[in-house]
Chains A and B, each alone.
Chain A
Amino acid sequence: MSAALLEVEGLAISFGALRAVSDLSFTAARGGITSVIGPNGAGKSTLFNLVSGALRPQQGRVRFAGADVTGWSTHKLLRAGLSRSFQITNLFFDLSVFENLRLASQVLEPMGRALLPVARSTAARDRAEELLGQFGLAEKATELAGHLSHGEQRRLEIAVSLACRPKMLLLDEPTQGMSHGDTQSTAAMIKGLAGDLTILLIEHDIDVVMNLSDHVVVMHQGAKLAEGTPAEVRGNAEVQKAYFGENPGGETPGGEAH
Chain B
Amino acid sequence: MAEAAILRNAVEATERIARGGRNLLAGIFVAIALAFAVFAGMTGDTFFFRLATEALIFAGLALSVDLLLGYTGLLSLGQALFFGFGAYVSGLVLKNVAPSFWAAIGITLAATLLVGTIAGIISIRARGVYFALITFGLAQVAFKVVFNTREIGGSDGIIGIPQIRAEFGLFSVDTQSPAGFFLLTLAFMMLLYAGCAYLVQTPAGRLLVAIRTNESRVPFLGYSPWRAKLFAFVAAAVVAALSGSLYPMLRGLVSPELLAFQISGNAVIMVVIGGVGTLAGAFYGSAILTMLKSVIGTFTEYHLIVIGALFMLSVIFFPKGLAGYALPRLERWVARRRGRA
Contacts and interface: CB of A to CB of B under 8 A. Distances in A.
Interface of A: 52-54, 73-75, 78-79, 83-84, 86, 90-96, 98-99, 102-104, 106-107, 109, 113-119, 121, 124-125, 129, 132-133, 138, 141-142, 160-161, 164
B221 A78 contact: yes
B210 interface: yes
A94 B213 contact: yes
A67 B38 CA distance: 68
B202 A141 contact: no
B198 interface: yes
Contact of A114 (B204, B218, B224): B204
Interface string B247-265: 0000000000000000000
B209 interface: yes
B4 A93 contact: no
Contact of A161 (B3, B15, B220, B223): B220
Contacts of B146: none
B203 A106 contact: yes
A129 B214 CA distance: 22
Nearest to B219: A74
A95 B220 contact: no
17 contacts: A75-B219, A79-B222, A91-B217, A94-B213, A95-B210, A98-B11, A106-B203, A106-B207, A106-B222, A107-B222, A109-B203, A118-B201, A118-B202, A138-B3, A160-B217, A160-B221, A161-B220
Nearest to A164: B222
A73 B203 contact: no
Contacts of A121: 203
5 A-B pairs with least C-beta separation: A74-B219, A107-B222, A78-B222, A92-B213, A114-B204
B4 A78 contact: no
B202 A114 contact: yes
B8 interface: yes
B216 to A, nearest CB: 7
Contacts of A103: 206-207, 210, 221
A118 B205 CA distance: 9
Q: Is the interface of B mostly helix, strand, loop or mixed?
A: helix
Interface size class of B (residues with CB under 8 A): 20 to 34
Contact of A75 (B7, B204, B216, B224): B224
Given A92-B213, A102-B206, A114-B202, 5 more contacts: A95-B213, A106-B222, A115-B202, A133-B4, A138-B7
Nearest to A105: B221
Interface string B204-248: 111101100110111111111000000000000000000000000
Interface string B12-31: 10110000000000000000
B145 interface: no
B65 to A, nearest CB: 20
A250 to B, nearest CB: 30
Contacts of B7: 129, 132, 138, 141
B203 A93 contact: no
B313 interface: no
B304 interface: no
B221 A106 contact: yes
B10 interface: yes
Given A114-B204, A129-B8, A142-B11, A90 B216 contact: yes
B165 to A, nearest CB: 33
* Residue among B14, B203, B224 with most chain A CB within 10 A: B203
A113 B206 CA distance: 12
A107 B223 contact: yes
B214 A83 contact: no
B251 to A, nearest CB: 35
A91 B214 contact: yes
Nearest to B5: A129
A93 B11 contact: no
Contacts of B3: 133, 138
B219 A73 contact: yes
A78 B10 contact: no
Nearest to B13: A142
A186 to B, nearest CB: 20
A117 B206 CA distance: 10
Contact of A124 (B199, B201, B203): B203
A167 B14 CA distance: 33
A142 B203 contact: no
Contact of B221 (A93, A94, A164): A164
Contacts of A95: 209-210, 213
Contact of B220 (A84, A114, A138): A84
Nearest to B227: A75
A79 B221 CA distance: 9
Contacts of A129: 4, 7-8
A106 B307 CA distance: 43
Contacts of B207: 103, 106
Nearest to B198: A117
Given A92-B213, A132-B7, A138-B3, A74 B203 contact: no
Nearest to B225: A75
